[in-house]
Amino acid sequence: MYQKIIVVGNLGSDPEMRYMPDGTAVTSFSVATNRRWTDRSTGQPVDETTWFRVSVWGRQAETTNEYLSKGRKVLVEGQITPDRNTGGPRLWTGQDGTVRASFEIRADSVRFLGGRDDTGGGSYSGGGESYESGAPAQEEDDIPF
């Protein structure tokens, strides 16, 4: 069996890094994806936000913690990890009282889209050990799905 998820979105908060007892770095952050469409019955625009909680391990965790911050655009590739209690997404209640869901992803690769100020380019992939500054940013229209 095999699964892979690819998510492009913006960080909802600064990354949080910690170390496991064996010294392995783990960085966690949230990513929001947005979708907008027009409701056919009302003609009004509808916005939908889906949240993903991402964990990154090893050297890539350290690099991710160093270069990413709230609001930055990223592309994350990995596997969905189900909630141990429900077998699905983690459910929580928002400040407005509505039930919300957060999907957990264990990242294989994190690519930084945009520059540090979201005007330049740059990417980092788990396949290599270096941060490549000056690489062209990948626009959402260029993603083949």
Query: DSSP readout, 51-79?
Result: EEEEEEETHHHHHHHHH--TT-EEEEEEE
Is the confidence at residue 134, as pLDDT, over 80?
A: no
Of residues 56 and 84, the one with the higher pLDDT is 56
Is residue 96, in this structure, part of any structural domain at all?
yes
Is residue 143, in this structure, part of any structural domain at all?
no
Is residue 145, in this structure, part of any structural domain at all?
no
Is the confidence at residue 87, as pLDDT, over 90?
A: no
b/e string for 27-44 if b means 16 or more Cβ within 10 A?
A: bbbbbeeeeeeeeeeeee
Identify which of 145, 124, 137 has the alpha carbon closest to the alpha carbon of residue 56.
124
Question: What does the pLDDT average to over 102-114?
Answer: 91
Q: Is the separation of the CB atoms in 15 and 74 below 8 Å? A: no
Give the chain's domain count. 1
Question: What does the pLDDT average to over 74-92?
Answer: 88
- Which distant-in-sequence residues (6+ apart) come within 8 Å of 1 by Cβ? none
Is the confidence at residue 142, as pLDDT, over 50?
A: no
Question: What does the pLDDT average to over 1-6?
Answer: 89
C-alpha neighbours within 13 Å on the C-beta side of residue 79: 6
C-alpha neighbours within 13 Å on the C-beta side of residue 28: 7
- Residues spanned by the domain of 70: 5-138
pLDDT at 1: 75
112 CB neighbour count, 10 Å cutoff: 24
pTM, two decimals, is: 0.71
Is residue 81, in this structure, part of any structural domain at all?
yes
88 CB neighbour count, 10 Å cutoff: 11
Question: What does the pLDDT average to over 54-67?
Answer: 95
Question: Looking at residue 60, which CATH number applies to its domain?
Answer: 2.40.50.140
Is residue 97, in this structure, part of any structural domain at all?
yes
- Of 51-60, 99-108, 118-127, the range with the lowest mean pLDDT is 118-127
Average pLDDT over the chain reads 81
Is the confidence at residue 145, as pLDDT, over 90?
A: no
Is residue 120, in this structure, part of any structural domain at all?
yes
pLDDT digits (tens, 9 = 90+) for 15-29: 999 999 999 999 999
